[in-house]
Structure 1
Amino acid sequence: MADRRQQQHHHHPGIDDVMTVLTKASRDLAVVQRHLDQEFHRSYPDHVNPCKLVSRIKKIQEEVVSLKDLCRELLAEKQDLIDKARASLVGQRSSLQRLLASSGLPLMSESDEMAYTNLNQVLDEWTVQLRAKTGEEKDTGEDINEMLFSAIVQNN
């Protein structure tokens, strides 16, 4: 049984040499890392350590991708809500006009009509401005929020 243990722990001389080289290399790298850390601490304050800054930049770059995806989802939900609210308002306005006409009551006031016209005008102007920023001139049916998001991200 003792012979068996000696055989299990006995390595080929080539493996012993490789293990020795790897162990020495590991120690040397640890010494280099310790010297670099000491040099960074002497040269830079803790919050300006170049290694830490590179690490933070990489983390921020990863988070930006995630945030872009979340913003797109949020904008899609916002656009859906705007579209539904606008459709509901148009439908309610139409129903109200029919009810007023059939009941003989006075139709909507000029200020109500002006407010509705102004709302549509503001939305149309907003779309034109966004298309100017994104470089799109024709009506592609692309949602306004997506154009805005693209324009902001491209400009930064």
Structure 2
Amino acid sequence: MEHNQAVDGLLNLFTKANRDLSAVQNKLHKEFQQVYPDHANPMKLVERLKKIEEEMSSLKDECRELLAAKQDLIDIARTVLVGNRTMLHKLQSSTGVPLTGDADDDAYESFNQVIDEWAVQVKSRKEEEEPDSGDINQMLFSAIVQSN
């Protein structure tokens, strides 16, 4: 098969350009490795940044799921704990045993303190940012992402 002389010249030009660019890339890579320690090589840092950007989206989604699960767990724990305390107070009343007050129940007080701290953290971020939705998970996610 015969090639046109112009096409052969163009092919040779591209082949030479490819070799030249590869040589420049290798030379830069060697210079960067000599000048910068491996962890500070600008080329490697750019590669790492690109990879982090690609993974950020999935990490955000996973954080949202985790925060939603955490809020669900808190809601369920609060419902169960309050229900159990109500039943305990009814049992205590029916048997004539003195009622256990909130101040006498360290575990209940500790739980309420954790819930109150969680609510304060989320509320303070909400007041700072005024997000459009009242979704507590989104508010907390925003607070965590922006503080890191």
The aligned counterpart of 1:142 is 135
So what's the TM-score if we normalise by structure 1?
A: 0.72
The worse-fitting range, judged by mean Cα deviation, of 47-56 and 64-73 is 64-73
Aligned equivalent of 2:122, options 116, 130, 133:
130
Specify whether residues 142 and 20 from structure 1 end up closer, same or farther in structure 2 by C-alpha distance, changes over 3 A only.
same
The aligned counterpart of 2:47 is 55
Contact 2:92 2:98 in 1 (8 A): yes
Distance in 2 between residues matched to 1:141 and 1:30, nearest whole Å: 54
Percent of paired sites with the same residue: 53
Alignment RMSD: 2.8
Asked if 1:70 is matched to 2:100, the reply is no
Asked if 1:105 is matched to 2:96, the reply is yes
Specify whether residues 14 and 131 from structure 1 end up closer, same or farther in structure 2 by C-alpha distance, changes over 3 A only.
same
Q: Unaligned 5+ residue runs, structure 2?
A: none
Query: How far does residue 131 in structure 1 lie from its aligned partner after superposition?
Result: 1.4
The aligned counterpart of 1:155 is 147
Contact 2:67 2:140 in 1 (8 A): no
Contact 1:100 1:107 in 2 (8 A): yes
Q: How many residues align?
A: 144
The aligned counterpart of 2:77 is 85
Q: Unaligned 5+ residue runs, structure 1?
A: 1-8
Specify whether residues 128 and 40 from structure 1 end up closer, same or farther in structure 2 by C-alpha distance, changes over 3 A only.
closer
Aligned equivalent of 1:21, options 9, 13, 22:
13
Query: How far does residue 72 in structure 1 lie from its aligned partner after superposition?
Result: 1.6
Contact 1:133 1:151 in 2 (8 A): yes
Contact 1:130 1:148 in 2 (8 A): yes
Specify whether residues 35 and 122 from structure 1 end up closer, same or farther in structure 2 by C-alpha distance, changes over 3 A only.
closer
